[in-house]
Amino acid sequence: MAQYDAIIIGAGMSGLAAGIRLAMYDKKVVVLERHYVWGGLNSFYQFKGHQFDVGLHALTNYAARGARGLPLSRLLKQLRIRWDDLDLHQQGFSAVSFPGVKLKFSNEFELLRSEVARAFPQQADGFDALTRAVREFNELDLEAPQQDARPVVRRFINDPLLEDMIFCPLMYYGSAREHDMDWDQFVVMFKSIFFEGFSRPQQGVRHILKLLIDRFRKAGGELRLKTGVRRILTDGNRATGVELDNGETLTAETVLSSAGLVETERMRGQEPGAQATGKLSFTETISVLDQPAKHVGIEETIVFFSNTARFNYAQPADDVDTSSGVICMPGNFDLPSTPRDHLVRITNIANYDRWAALGSAGFQPASGAGLRPAPQAADETSAAHAGATPALPYYTAKQHWYERSCADAISHIADFRPHVTLVDMFTPRTIRHYTGHEGGAVYGSPKKLRTGATGIEGLYIIGTDQGFLGIIGAALSGISMANRWVLQRDTSAVEAT
Ligand SMILES: Cc1cc2nc3c(=O)[nH]c(=O)nc-3n(C[C@H](O)[C@H](O)[C@H](O)COP(=O)(O)OP(=O)(O)OC[C@H]3O[C@@H](n4cnc5c(N)ncnc54)[C@H](O)[C@@H]3O)c2cc1C
């Protein structure tokens, strides 16, 4: 029976980062991943000769070379990765677009500040005060009492339109809760998106994952793909190891799980509470254009939009809510060379249960044919659409929602539909299939374990359900939990994150 210092469940960002940290300190560590590829929610695949990222729109938390004390700088220091190795290129500018008003922002916070003062002059002082409150709040205090963000924000902002325009990007990029966020999560997301900003490597998420995998292997860590964990083994109140899908048993002093809170509880034979499963899942459509998005008239890097003045961040009653979304043009980062594929990616909130119930067992169309580009005439927008869509077979539903998603997005960017040459789309069902997240819940459970402690000695939650999301957040979660629960227990020579 193999014995380890630490077993890590999941080779996503948090699992890999925790693995590197432990291997660097000569711990015998194995990362177990059920899927045949690493990356978790942030992975990649090849489709009809094109390379697509699953997750990455943008790396949040941009930090310039040499910057100190920022999340990205801390991450690089802890994993001994050089800033230049990340190959980061900043966004041009992005926008939050609501009916009749658009706020631009970039990695220079001053742009957003001036845009708020221009579009909402009555709110300018309040926005500055909110900004100060965000800056002064220590989101790394894991023991801080939880409070809702909206009442705090309303102390500073009394225009509901501006309030929702601020919440829209923060929720889309990191809220497991419907309608509101925890204040500490609001602060994390505000800093990572508005203060620090977006960047991306030319080669996308593959590049980041290759850096992490190389670092992990070089430090002596072991990665086992196609190796799912069926059960977490305990002796009384102590975790002792795991049982794999193939029946093999591995033992360890510590088990770090990035599978999610609900999923980890199930592996312990516990039935999670009804409210524990996250409700927020997404569809994402990927359109390949015949020319760069800028040539079609789209200048923004990312657009967060709502077609209604009140932004509704909640599980939709229908398959997808296309009335709000995120539109990402990966080619509109300041990249050193024009990417091979010119992409427009649109993310919308979707209902996992409805997608799970649609007919068709497989994940590929039987004919091998993919989705078709959306005809320009199909510009039936969400405002014009009433009532839930009747249940359609899976691939018909994908075609229907692809067209609706594009039609609603073009209220905010130039109409790219005549230039689409190839289409792909993933749904909540895809997310569930490839990451095991119940309900296809991208941001996990609304209940977060901020200290990682599960109540079982030696078993800790890392990543999404520790409460730190996104690529940088999840990786920092893996690092800080590995430090706190393994390395700091054994040595005082570990730098704090
Ligand atoms: C469409 C989409 C777009 C996104 N865009 C961005 C973006 O632009 N920028 C950004 O920063 N973040 C983005 N994210 C979010 C980001 O991808 C996640 O927050 C982050 O990757 C979470 O990492 P994690 O390690 O916590 O969990 P995960 O990535 O979920 O990793 C968990 C891993 O555990 C494995 N696993 C689960 N159960 C078991 C088991 N029983 N046995 C073995 N293995 C198991 C899973 O297969 C998975 O690989 C996006 C996510 C999605 C889905």
Task: Specify the CATH number for the domain of residue 472.
Answer: 3.50.50.60
Place 368 in a pLDDT band, splitting at 50, 70 and 90: very low
Is 74 part of any domain?
Answer: no
Of 443, 440, 411, 412, the closest CA to residue 428 belongs to: 440
pLDDT at 483: 97
pLDDT at 451: 94
For the cut 80, the answer to whether the pLDDT of residue 375 exceeds it is no
> 143 and 177, same structural domain?
yes
Domain boundary among 144, 175, 194: 194
pLDDT at 374: 76
As given in the structure block, the two tokens for residue 365 are 């169309």
> 290 and 246, same structural domain?
no
Q: Whose CA is nearest to atom 39 of ligand 1?
A: 259
pLDDT at 100: 95
Is 307 part of any domain?
Answer: yes
Q: How far is the CA of 113 from the centre of ligand 1 (A)?
A: 32
Q: How far is the CA of 85 from the centre of ligand 1 (A)?
A: 22
In sequence order, what are the residues at sequence separation of 6 or more whose Cβ sits closer than 8 angstroms to the Cβ of residue 447?
261, 275, 276, 465
Average pLDDT over residues 185-210: 95
Phi, psi of 396 (to 5 degrees): -65, -40
Nearest-angstrom CA–CA distance, 229 and 244 = 4
Is 330 part of any domain?
Answer: yes
Give SS3 for 304.
strand
pLDDT at 215: 97
Is 393 part of any domain?
Answer: yes
Average pLDDT over residues 138-146: 83
> 217 and 316, same structural domain?
no
pLDDT at 43: 81
The atom of ligand 1 lying closest to the CA of 57 is 8
> 111 and 162, same structural domain?
yes
Q: How far is the CA of 329 from the centre of ligand 1 (A)?
A: 21
Place 377 in a pLDDT band, splitting at 50, 70 and 90: low
> 377 and 266, same structural domain?
no
Q: How far is the CA of 259 from the centre of ligand 1 (A)?
A: 9
Higher pLDDT, 210 or 390: 210
> 346 and 221, same structural domain?
no
> 416 and 284, same structural domain?
yes
Domain boundary among 160, 194, 228: 194
Split into its structural domains, the chain has a count of: 3
Using one digit for the tens of pLDDT, what is the confidence trace for 51-67?
888 878 999 999 999 99
Is 496 part of any domain?
Answer: no
Nearest-angstrom CA–CA distance, 477 and 126 = 32
> 423 and 341, same structural domain?
yes
Name all residues whose Cβ lies below 6 A of ligand 1: 9-15, 32-35, 40-42, 55-60, 228-229, 258-259, 263, 282, 284, 347, 431, 435-437, 442, 463-464, 469-471, 474
Is 440 part of any domain?
Answer: no
Nearest-angstrom CA–CA distance, 105 and 111 = 5
> 270 and 217, same structural domain?
yes
In sequence order, what are the residues at sequence separation of 6 or more whose Cβ sits closer than 8 angstroms to the Cβ of residue 180?
148, 149, 150
Show the domain range for 239.
Answer: 2-56+204-275+445-490
> 390 and 300, same structural domain?
yes
Place 360 in a pLDDT band, splitting at 50, 70 and 90: low
Task: For residue 123, give the DSSP letter.
Answer: G
Using one digit for the tens of pLDDT, what is the confidence trace for 79-131?
999 999 999 999 999 999 999 999 999 999 999 999 999 999 999 999 999 99
Counting Cα atoms < 13 Å in the Cβ hemisphere of 422 gives 13
Mean pLDDT of the chain: 91
Phi, psi of 368 (to 5 degrees): 85, -5
Is 64 part of any domain?
Answer: no
Is 431 part of any domain?
Answer: yes
Domain boundary among 435, 457, 475: 435
* Torsion of the alpha carbons at 37, 42, 44 and 47, rounded to the nearest 10: 120
Count of C-beta atoms within a 10 Å radius of residue 377: 9
Q: How far is the CA of 58 from the centre of ligand 1 (A)?
A: 14
Phi, psi of 357 (to 5 degrees): -85, -10
pLDDT at 497: 43
Give SS3 for 387.
coil
Strands 229-235 and 238-244: antiparallel
> 475 and 429, same structural domain?
no
For the cut 90, the answer to whether the pLDDT of residue 269 exceeds it is yes
Q: Whose CA is nearest to atom 8 of ligand 1?
A: 57
Q: Whose CA is nearest to atom 52 of ligand 1?
A: 55
> 482 and 362, same structural domain?
no
For the cut 90, the answer to whether the pLDDT of residue 46 exceeds it is no
